[in-house]
Chain A
Amino acid sequence: MKEAVDDAVPTAVDILYYPNSTMIEFRLDGHAGVMTYLQIVQQVRRALLVGRLLPGDQLPTVREVVAKLAINPNTVLKAYRQLEHEGVLVSRPGAGTFIRQDVRIAPRPGQAALGAALARWMHRARREGLDDNDLRAVFDDVLRNEDNKIAAAQ
């Protein structure tokens, strides 16, 4: 049974459908209350923002995504189209979908330092006995207060 696969000469189509590596794997949060295509859009943006995706990286094909997540292909197409529209992706017919070389979402210069500072803050918070939910509550609370201050100043 196995031999049948090994003997088969891969065609161009096979190679396109099964690229050796893709840099991102999407996941779905059924309870996020966020539409599925937007979850994909956000995951690409976030991956760029933290440097997990880089210009030139190839995204999984629609077929690969739906075979993994069991979602409607149009959902993936819609997400990719939106990202294309935003200047994040470029699709090259016959080759695949890639992060544009001139994509404008990238880690900020000071981002690594900010991440490290946040990590130190988290260690402290954990020592104080805060769990994940507590951490988020504090973060959201501070964020809201800061937003309010900015709004009041304007």
Chain B
Amino acid sequence: MSGVAIESKGLTKRFGSTVALCDCNVRIPANRVVALVGPNGAGKSTFLRISVGLDEPSTGQIKVLGWSPQAQPMLVLPRIGFMGQDRPLYSRFTARELLELGRRLNPRWDGELAKARLDRIGIPLDRRAGQLSGGQCAQLALTMVLAKRPDLLVLDEPVAGLDPLARREFLQHLMEAVAEAELSVVLSSHIVSELELTCDYLIILAEGQIQVAGEIEGLVAGHRVLIGPRQGLEVESDQSVVRSTHTERQTTLLVRSDGRPPGPGWEEHQVSLEDIVLAYLAHPAARSLPRPEVLHKEGPTQ
């Protein structure tokens, strides 16, 4: 594989007068589990749908596994497993019929794997999709996309609406699949606490733009909470400050840190991924953007 799962340059998508994506530049490495987060309407689904060829960019480029999903669909689409929002399945089809559909539509279909998975999970082949529980539907949908033997899984809100147990079971099976095969995963989600355990790369989309992109480990290591004496509001114009809150006596900052200790009077704390995501989500306009390292290295094209 090329080492890059998805790469976009200047990717922009307009629906009429609405700008869903605006000049998105991102390079997502392969063999990662990527969390795509952002508020509703930030453009997550649009980005994912363009990645799998279901939508076309208005301007700009996107390459998935090295190919254009729009111009070279026969090369790239068989290698992608896509699960849309609400995990759509034909509700009147039985599990067996859905697997047959998958077999006929997909050149790399692995029917044995699909049957073995359903057997393990305990979904009877003669059960209609519409009769399954939410958790079982999610597992059946995951089975369908894994049976494609994809190089890249694109999952749009895969665990939304599932109860905690079903959510955990889904993530257990997903992580097991990642451990078994060289598989890149891009998933959008709102549940940050679970992303911290399952994902190793984070992208935050805000108002149609890439706000954060990077290895989660590096992001967590590169941010700090500083607590110190009350500052004036000018502190917010500091490039490294992501979020600031003030009381009468003290100021709390979430900052991007270069590892140097803070000045005298400041108390330094580690941050969790959740702290970082919440701080950026709360300040979509704050262009305190840690640009993805790879974009810096591109030299002449910048």
Residues of chain A having any CB pair with chain B under 8 Å? 1, 4-5, 28, 30, 33, 36, 62-63, 66-75
Which chain A residues border B194 with CB–CB below 8 Å? 70
B124-A71 in contact (CB<8A): no
- B176 interface residue per 8 A CB criterion: yes
Q: Which residues of A contact B244 (CB under 8 A)?
A: none
Q: For the complex, what is the distance from the CA of A70 to the CA of B33, rounded to whole Å?
A: 12
Inter-chain contacts of B237 with A (CB < 8 A):
none
How many angstroms from the CA of A75 to the CA of B178 in the assembled complex? 12
Given contacts A1-B119, A4-B119, A30-B193, A72 and B176 within 8 Å (CB-CB):
no
User: B119 touching A73 by the CB < 8 A rule?
Assistant: no
Most buried by A among B175, B176, B180, B193: B175
Q: Taking CB as reference atom, which chain A residue is nearest B183?
A: A73
Cα separation A30 to B7 with both chains bound (whole Å) = 33
Given A70-B168, A73-B175, decide whether A63 and B180 contact each other with a Cβ distance below 8 A.
Answer: yes
The interface size of chain B toward A, counting residues with CB under 8 Å, comes to 22
Judge if B233 is at the interface, Cβ distance under 8 Å: no
**Contact in complex: B178, A72 (CB < 8 Å):** yes
Between A and B, 17 residue pairs with Cβ closer than 8 Å are: A1-B119, A36-B197, A67-B172, A67-B175, A69-B172, A69-B197, A70-B171, A70-B174, A71-B198, A72-B175, A72-B198, A72-B200, A73-B175, A73-B179, A74-B200, A75-B197, A75-B200
CA distance A62 to B116 in the complex (A): 20
Q: Which residue of B lies closest to A62 (CB)?
A: B179
| A5 and B115 alpha carbons, distance in the complex (Å) | 11
B173 within 8 A of A: yes
* Interface flag for B142 (CB, 8 Å): no
- Inside 8 A of A70's CB, which chain B residues have their CB? 168, 171-172, 174-175, 194, 197-198
